[in-house]
Amino acid sequence: MLHYRLPFVISSQTVFMKAILLEALHQPLQVKEVATPEILSGEVLIRMHTAAFNHRDLWIQKGQYAGIVFPMIPGSDGCGVVEQAASPEDKKWIGKEVIVNPSMNWGTNPAVQAKDYVILGLPHHGTFAQYLKIESRLLSEKPAHLSFEEAAAIPLAGLTAFRALFTRARARKGEKILVTGAGGGVALFAIQFAIAAGCEVYITSGSDEKISKAIALGAKGGVNYKKENWHKELQQLSGGFDAIVDSACGDNFARLVDIAKPSGRIAFYGATLGAFNSGVPAKIFWKQLDILGSTMGNDAEFYEMVNFIKHHQIKPVVDSVWGLDKAQEAIEHMGKGEQFGKIVLSIPL
């Protein structure tokens, strides 16, 4: 049986739970019985109803992530009901439907994460289990207008998009915004957030079908980046962009520099196409562009993001919902890159 890495005593009274367990690199996700965690001071125990995948889970399974430990329960996103609280001041959470901030140990500097910063799901056991122990300070009440499946889709992708779009790229009402890679969870949140904020949003995708779906969400237009002159077509459609949110980098990054307006901001939170080619440096300094890296977000941004979703009644896009025993099939579906929105796990009672 798996023991939680935090202090925990196994006895004849130990209660076990079902969880997805990753025991080695390149191994399939499997449902196992593991010890239900015991909570310490300042922690709560959540009965998880739903969890959601991120590409981070796939990269961990493939060994493309630093600091991997085994055995481990993956998962950074989830939604459930608090069943236990270790401290008297946290008893108020019992019975409440909550989502969890996966951004752990951000630190005191809102501008950048601390050295001991980690994301829920590695090295700490994550959300792909019937129960999760977590510090109460990382809880937020589930927005009432959302289902458990929709709420589970929020935490990691929503926080990443919120910081990249508003804190780093400084998107404002009335500006023209480009979001690349429509279809992924972060990109879709960035699209929805920018539209809700009153921006004029354009998108790119390698799928015409995904472009059509993004336009149905409220995007003004989009272009398939597989076209030879996709950036020129976007320039004609939009006239250029005040802010760009990118996850790909690679050789296409130079084209983003081309279509950014003078004093534009380009924020990127990933590099799925590898190291970027920024093109002619003079274009960056002559246009006074800001090139901005962004990772996850701080605690204040998480609560601002949740309140933004509540205020604008935003509904996350859910691609599909899978049973816990179908976790491996679900992560393979994500690996194909065909999804539009978040892939969610339903966790049986």
Predicted confidence (pLDDT) at residue 277 exceeds the cutoff of 90: no
Same domain, 209 and 106: no
Q: Is residue 6 part of a domain?
A: no
CATH number reported for the structural domain that contains residue 137 in this entry: 3.90.180.10
**Residue 5 counted as domain residue:** no
The pLDDT score that the predictor gives to residue 338 is 86
CA of 268: how far to CAs of 174, 215, 243, 245, in Å?
Answer: 21, 22, 11, 6
Q: Helix or strand or coil: residue 336?
A: coil
* Amino acid identity, position 318: V
pLDDT at 2: 46
Domain assignment present for residue 10? The answer is: no
Q: Which one has a higher pLDDT value, 335 or 272?
A: 335
CA distance 296 to 162: 9
Please give the Cα distance from 11 to 234 (Å, whole number): 63
The pTM assigned to this predicted structure is 0.92
Find the mean pLDDT for residues 286-300: 96
For residues 212 and 219, what is the distance between their CA atoms, to the nearest angstrom?
9
* Residues 144 and 180 reside in one and the same domain: no
Task: Please report which helix (H) or strand (E) contains residue 217, including its range.
Answer: helix 208-217
Using the Cα atoms of residue 63, residue 66, residue 68 and residue 72 in order, give the sign of their dihedral.
negative
Q: Please name which of 257, 252, 200, 202 lies closest in space to residue 227, comparing C-alpha atoms.
A: 252
Q: Give 129's DSSP letter.
A: B
- How sure is the predictor about 349, in pLDDT bands with cuts at 50, 70 and 90? confident
Burial status of residue 67 (CB atoms within 10 A of its CB: 0-12, 13-18, 19 or more): exposed
**Is residue 238 a part of any domain in this protein?**
yes
Q: What is the share, in percent, of the chain residues with pLDDT greater than 70?
A: 96
pLDDT band at 13; cut points 50, 70, 90? low
Looking at the structure, do residues 125 and 58 belong to the same domain, yes or no? yes
**Number of separate domains in the chain:** 2
303 token code pair: 């609560």
Instruction: Verify that 335 and 228 share a domain, yes or no.
Output: no
Q: Is residue 134 part of a domain?
A: yes
Domain span at 25: 16-154+316-346
**Averaged pLDDT, 56-72:** 86
Q: What angle do CA 342, 344, 349 make, to 5 degrees?
A: 160
